[in-house]
């Protein structure tokens, strides 16, 4: 039996008409995509927002682009997706700007010549930067990754990666925190090397379960002469090694050789405590 269509509800609790209210149509369409309170129905979701997109509503246009890009309720068609994303992006919709940039970047290799390919890359970066400047985390992460490692026809440029890595790190993303910590530790992108500040960012990412950050944090602490740091190093290296981070696996073997049996026993106790703490935190985060 088909689930009854759930009415769209305004913030004041009153029902709204998705045929006349574009925001209500977008909200209800997303529920049909996710199956929230209604049966999953991408075609119905698309039909809800289509008239509003044609009328110029940016969120509806962005959603129409998503339908075409993913082949939801309509045949997959990147050119149609680009057309819709561009309409919404021109009106400042950051999700559309990000998706448009990603599609242009993915399609640049299909261009007829080098000049056109470079033009596609340039436009893609412009849209990604527009989205990132509006606080779009996905765009910030993608730019940090593109410029730090160099890919998709974009040359490695750590100085350009730096502001996006830092902004994404400040937003709480653990991958960016680890990357920013790494840049601080080794003085990349024009930064002055600062191991103390790198530790701060490694710790933020490590507390969120990032294996690379846990390994880096453990590696630095292992070089300390303070007994407490040596034990904490053991904890982070073991947590990282448990996630099969190879650098941690290598470091913990060396680190254990420098510890007494008493220190290893205490380190195991602290490790179990920290592991339980992280698992509890992650469980609470998943529920929120």
> How far is 98 from 142, CA to CA, in rounded Å?
9
Question: Which residues sit opposite 128 in a β-bridge?
Answer: none
Distance in angstroms between the alpha carbons of the first and the last residue of the chain: 31
| Per-position DSSP letters for 189-238, written without gaps between them | TTPPP-HHHHHHHHHHHHTTT-HHHHHHHHHHHHT-S-HHHHHHHHHHHH
What whole-number distance in Å separates Cα of residue 188 and Cα of residue 206?
21
d(CA 12, CA 25): 17
Instruction: Give every CB contact of residue 8 below 8 A, 6+ residues apart in sequence.
Output: 15, 16, 17, 18, 21, 24, 25, 27, 28
Distances (CA, A) of 51 to 25, 47, 60, 68, 266: 10, 8, 9, 15, 65
The fold for domain 17-111+118-134 equals: 1.25.40
How is 129-164 classified by DSSP, letter by letter?
HHHHHTT-HHHHHHHHHHHHH--TT----HHHHHHH
pLDDT tens, position by position, 204-222: 999 999 999 999 999 999 9
* pLDDT tens by residue, 60-75: 999 999 999 999 999 9
Residues with pLDDT less than 50, the chain: 1-5, 10-12, 109-112
The confidence score (pLDDT) of residue 19 equals 86
Hey, is 71 helix, strand or coil?
coil
DSSP annotation of 12: T
The residues spanned by each domain of the chain are 17-111+118-134
Least Cα distance to 47 among 199, 28, 78, 35 occurs for: 28
φ and ψ at 15, to 5 degrees? -65, 145
Q: Given this model, what pLDDT does residue 16 score?
A: 60
pLDDT score, position 286: 63
Give the gyration radius of the chain's Cα atoms. Answer: 24
pLDDT at residue 108, rounded to an integer: 57
d(CA 287, CA 279): 12
């Amino acid at each position: 039996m088909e689930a009854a269509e759930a009415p769209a509800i305004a913030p004041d609790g009153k029902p709204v008409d998705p045929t006349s209210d574009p925001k209500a149509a977008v909200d209800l369409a997303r529920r049909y995509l996710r199956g929230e309170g209604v049966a999953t129905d991408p075609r119905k979701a698309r039909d809800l927002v289509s008239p509003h997109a044609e009328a110029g509503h940016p969120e509806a246009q962005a959603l129409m682009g998503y339908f075409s890009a993913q082949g939801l309720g309509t045949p997959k068609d990147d050119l149609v997706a680009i057309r819709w994303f561009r309409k919404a992006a021109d009106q400042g919709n950051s999700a559309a700007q990000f998706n448009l940039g990603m599609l242009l970047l993915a399609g640049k290799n299909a261009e007829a010549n080098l000049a056109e390919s470079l033009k596609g890359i340039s436009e893609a970066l412009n849209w990604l930067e527009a989205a990132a400047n509006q606080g779009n985390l996905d765009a910030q992460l993608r730019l940090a990754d593109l410029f730090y490692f160099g890919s998709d026809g974009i040359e490695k440029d750590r100085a350009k990666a730096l502001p996006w890595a830092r902004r994404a790190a400040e937003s709480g993303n653990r991958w960016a925190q680890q990357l920013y910590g790494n840049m601080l530790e080794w003085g990349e992108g024009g930064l002055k090397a600062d191991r103390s500040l790198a530790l701060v960012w490694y710790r933020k990412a490590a507390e969120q379960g990032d294996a690379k950050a846990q390994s880096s944090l453990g590696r630095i602490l292992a070089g300390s002469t303070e007994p407490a740091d040596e034990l904490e190093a053991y904890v982070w290296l073991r947590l990282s090694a448990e996630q099969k981070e190879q650098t941690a696996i290598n470091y913990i073997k060396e680190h254990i050789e420098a510890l007494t049996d008493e220190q290893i026993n205490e380190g195991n106790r602290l490790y179990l405590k920290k592991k339980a703490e992280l698992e509890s935190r992650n469980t609470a985060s998943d529920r929120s």
